[in-house]
């Protein structure tokens, strides 16, 4: 018997420099049936996104080395990753500002702090929209 990963499950890349939040989101996503990988900064997020081509990326916008804004711009301008939905995780109230998502090229926003259920629901929503 082998412990090979179940590639039929969507892969979510959780990017957050705050370890407790990142681990909580990752654990809840795994519990909810997703495969999860994690990154702690924007540079690591770019490396992992290019290597893994996840199904969706949860991107904190306030990150060290390369912030989430710039990491998202780079992902959306690269042929390999431009199709990947990016859900911005932010403590800023940008979700209520018209046009904010288009400026950053995020597919949606979740305002932190948020309940894990809210995050899982948003991941499912962007994945469903991607399949249409």
The ranges assigned to domains in the chain are: 11-131
Instruction: Tell me the angle at which helices 42-52 and 68-76 cross, rounded to the nearest 10 degrees.
Output: 30
Instruction: Specify the pLDDT at position 113.
Output: 84
Identify the CATH class of 11-131.
alpha beta
Query: For residue 53, what is the DSSP state?
Result: -
**pTM of the prediction?**
0.88
**Is there a contact between 89 and 71 (Cβ–Cβ < 8 Å)?**
no
Tell me the mean pLDDT in the region 85-106. Answer: 66
Question: Is pLDDT of 91 > 50?
Answer: yes
According to DSSP, the residues that pair with 14 across neighbouring strands are 38, 58
Average pLDDT, integer, range 22-42: 97
Q: What sign for the dihedral angle of Cα 55, 121, 126, 17?
A: negative
Least confident stretch, 36-45, 99-108, 115-124: 99-108
Q: Residue 92 pLDDT > 70, yes or no?
A: no
Mean pLDDT of all residues in the chain?
A: 88
């Amino acid at each position: 018997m082998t412990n090979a990963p179940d590639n039929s499950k969507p892969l979510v890349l959780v990017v957050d420099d705050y370890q407790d939040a990142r681990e909580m989101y990752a654990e809840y996503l795994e519990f909810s049936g997703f495969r999860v990988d994690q990154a702690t900064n924007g540079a690591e997020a770019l490396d992992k996104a290019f290597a893994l081509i996840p199904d969706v990326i949860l991107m904190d916008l306030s990150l060290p080395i390369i912030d989430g804004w710039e990491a998202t711009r780079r992902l959306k301008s690269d042929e390999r990753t431009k199709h990947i939905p990016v859900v911005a995780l932010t403590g800023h109230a940008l979700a209520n500002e018209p046009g904010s998502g288009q400026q950053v090229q995020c597919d949606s926003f979740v305002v932190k702090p948020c309940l894990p259920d809210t995050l899982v629901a948003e991941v499912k929503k962007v994945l469903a929209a991607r399949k249409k």
